Structure formats: structure tokens, C-alpha cells
Amino acid sequence: MSHLSATIIVLAPLRLYLMYSHDVNCTHPYCSDLATYKVAARWSDGRFAELKTYGFACSDHLGEVFQEAENRRLDYTLCPGEVTEEMAIYRFEPGKRDRQLKRLWDLEENYRT
Ligand SMILES: [Zn+2]
């Protein structure tokens, strides 16, 4: 028990630091690695467009996170006027804006079904 509370004391400031520096963890439920990829699709309602984020992945789980994101996109029923583009993979760099992220077309081809 005393061992557990010691761990929490050590981890708490680290987590605050991670949040502050905009680092993001892999979306995979059993993974706590830092994300190096962002899985997202362009979305628009005809007037307004944005990059809709579906998940973040480390290199080990990119395939699973991408597939799960694509399934969620296909399950979603669009309202009239709404459009989503194909799922895309970006190299995730903390603190960078969406438009500055590099899209990784080659990787997408590997995971697209
Ligand atoms: Zn992972």
C-alpha cells in the first residue's frame, strides 16, 4: 500500500507536465505510449470545414486505431449537407496546428481496406 502511494506522488507532477506540453497518448485501450500519429478526416457542413480527429496512435497500434476510426466514420450517419472525406494519417507533432501536420499518404495505403 505504501508502495502504491509513493508511485502516485511521483507520477502526479509528470502528468501535469505532459498535459502542459500537449503530448498525447495512444488511443489504444491497453497502451500508454506517446502518440506519433494522428488519425483524422476532413469534415464539412458546407459552410464550415475542419479536421475531425478520430484517434491518436503509437507506431505499434496505428493499424488498429486507423481501422477503428474508419469503422466509426462509416457508422456515423451524416446530416443533410454534411460530408466527411476519407480517413487520413498525419504525423503527430505536439503543439503544431492541423494545417502544419504532414499527411502520410503511403501509410494510409497500407491500412486501407
Ligand atoms: Zn499504442
Dist. CA 45 → ligand 1 center (Å): 32
Query: 61 near 31, Cβ under 8 Å?
Result: yes
104 to 62, 63, 80, 94: CA distances (angstroms): 12, 13, 30, 16
Dist. CA 103 → ligand 1 center (Å): 19
Q: Where are the domains of the chain?
A: 23-111
More confident of the two residues 32 and 13: 32
- Give the global pTM: 0.77
pLDDT for 96-111, tens place per residue?
A: 888 899 999 999 999 9
Dist. CA 35 → ligand 1 center (Å): 7
